[in-house]
Amino acid sequence: MQINFWNKQIETASRDEINDIQLRRLKNIVKQAYKSEFYKKKFHKAGIESPEDIKTLEDIQKFPFTTKNDLRQNYPAGLLASDFDDVVRIHSSSGTTGVPTVIYLSGEDMDCWTDLVARSLVATGCTKSDVFQNMMTYGLFTGGLGLHYGAERVGMAVLPIGGGNTIRQVRYMQDFNTTTLHITPSYLLHIYGKLDDFNTKIEDLSLKRAITGAEPHTEQTRKKLEELYNMPCYNSYGLSEMNGPGVAFECVYRNGMHIWEDGFIAEIINPETGEVLPDGEKGELVLTNLTRTAMPLLRYRTRDLCHIYDSDCPCGRTHRRLSRIMGRTDDMMIINGVNVFPSQIEEVVMNIPEVGTNYQIVLTKKGAIDKLIVKVEIYSKMFSGDASQLDSLNRKICEELKASIFVNPVVQIHEPGTLPTFEGKAKRVIDMREEI
Ligand SMILES: [Zn+2]
């Protein structure tokens, strides 16, 4: 397999070299963080008087965690650590509670971010000959602009089309011989169902790969997408608090996402106790951004659940890999006392061959009892009118779900194209329990 590198020296550095870079950068970034009102107070409270207290990488554990709540409470400028004149970009997200969070980037921070995104794209096989159709939302959301600048730095021809308008998306794929898509997995599933309407076949397109991001998805969804489109789909990880995309990315082997460890320190913790867990154990990902000077974030709790593995990757990169995100600590649904993650449901339904490209999870309440309804679309060839066939499919989905999540669901089978669709991030879970 052809392996391309953006910065081979860094990407294949020895563990000692990576540790050296991390320690040097950690000392610098802690020094920088002291300049913000927020960290000055926080460090003082934790009894840390000077950045010189950091002698080894393990010393990072002396620092308290930073949370999303900290960002909200210190909005808009409590975490700003550099002169405002040095800021060249502001990204903000409103979140579900409506209280915004903000990140600031200096010119140098932008440069580091763009470089990591370029490195990530090259790891998936992208070159300057590729045509990159960026179907993520542009604007304050970091997914659009983040990949845009990285793809330009690689030298790809970038189509900044943004999300939505499926007919135009497909037309541009044809007209400009798009080779690489950047898209949410749910939108990629949705488009497949539309190709027939536009009289377009996959063979008419020049697609070589898709970069999927912005929403966690399961291995089953990836498999389905790769079969439908006959191209590799690369998982990526980022979050706006850590600039956005480009934190961790899959290489051509698609066996977990390399975390760019010269840019970030990744820890996995037990979300209840805060205890740091060894590699391989599942827990909450905690990230320290080592290079962002305008607004350093130390030990930021991402609320994303995953694990890290350090086995060798055949691509030769030495940066450890992150598993797929298995859910978020705040995504967890409690259904009649049982903890269920939406990803567990997706894993089951997407593995059933008759199930099509869309599904939805609805929670309601009957008296004191929670009711879980799983709505799935199936492929049209299954709607041949044979009711007993549909009944047995319904039973099969119910049984497989129950065996996986220990909750008895009600399964509803829908015709293709009848469940709500999304041209950006999907909203798969509708929880109506509080409204009833
Ligand atoms: Zn690799």
pLDDT tier at 436, thresholds 50, 70, 90: very low
Query: Does pLDDT of 143 surpass 80?
Result: yes
- How far is ligand 1, taken at its centre, from the CA of residue 66, in Å? 30
CA–CA distance, 77 with 351 (Å, rounded to integer): 46
Query: Does pLDDT of 104 surpass 50?
Result: yes
In a domain, 348, yes or no: yes
- How far is ligand 1, taken at its centre, from the CA of residue 127, in Å? 17
In a domain, 395, yes or no: yes
- How far is ligand 1, taken at its centre, from the CA of residue 6, in Å? 13
Residue 302's pLDDT is 95
Average pLDDT over residues 408-419: 92
337-358 per-residue burial string, b: 16 or more CB within 10 A, e: under 16: eeebbbbbbbbbbbbbeebbbb
- How far is ligand 1, taken at its centre, from the CA of residue 310, in Å? 11
Mean pLDDT over the full length of the chain: 92
In a domain, 421, yes or no: yes
In a domain, 380, yes or no: yes
In a domain, 375, yes or no: yes
Residue type, 100: P
Residue 254's pLDDT is 97
In a domain, 387, yes or no: yes
Average pLDDT over residues 377-406: 87
- How far is ligand 1, taken at its centre, from the CA of residue 256, in Å? 8
Torsion of CA 91, 250, 306, 54, to 10 degrees: -70
For 133, the 3-state DSSP assignment is strand
CA–CA distance, 235 with 245 (Å, rounded to integer): 11
**Would you give the distance in Å from CA 224 to the centre of its chain?**
18
- How far is ligand 1, taken at its centre, from the CA of residue 73, in Å? 39
Residue 435's pLDDT is 56
Q: Which domain holds residue 351?
A: 333-435
Structural domain total, the chain? 1
In a domain, 411, yes or no: yes
Residue 386's pLDDT is 79
- How far is ligand 1, taken at its centre, from the CA of residue 235, in Å? 12
286 neighbors 273 (Cβ within 8 angstroms): no
User: Any idea what the CATH number is for the domain that residue 399 is in?
Assistant: 3.30.300.30
Average pLDDT over residues 244-252: 97
- How far is ligand 1, taken at its centre, from the CA of residue 269, in Å? 24
- How far is ligand 1, taken at its centre, from the CA of residue 8, in Å? 12
- Residue-wise DSSP of 370-396: EEEEEEEEE-GGG-SS-HHHHHHHHHH
pLDDT tier at 96, thresholds 50, 70, 90: low
Query: Does pLDDT of 433 surpass 90?
Result: no
Q: 28-72: per-residue pLDDT in tens?
A: 999 999 999 999 999 888 888 777 778 999 999 999 999 999 999
Average pLDDT over residues 220-245: 95
**pTM score:** 0.88
In a domain, 29, yes or no: no
Q: 336-354: per-residue pLDDT in tens?
A: 888 888 988 999 999 999 9
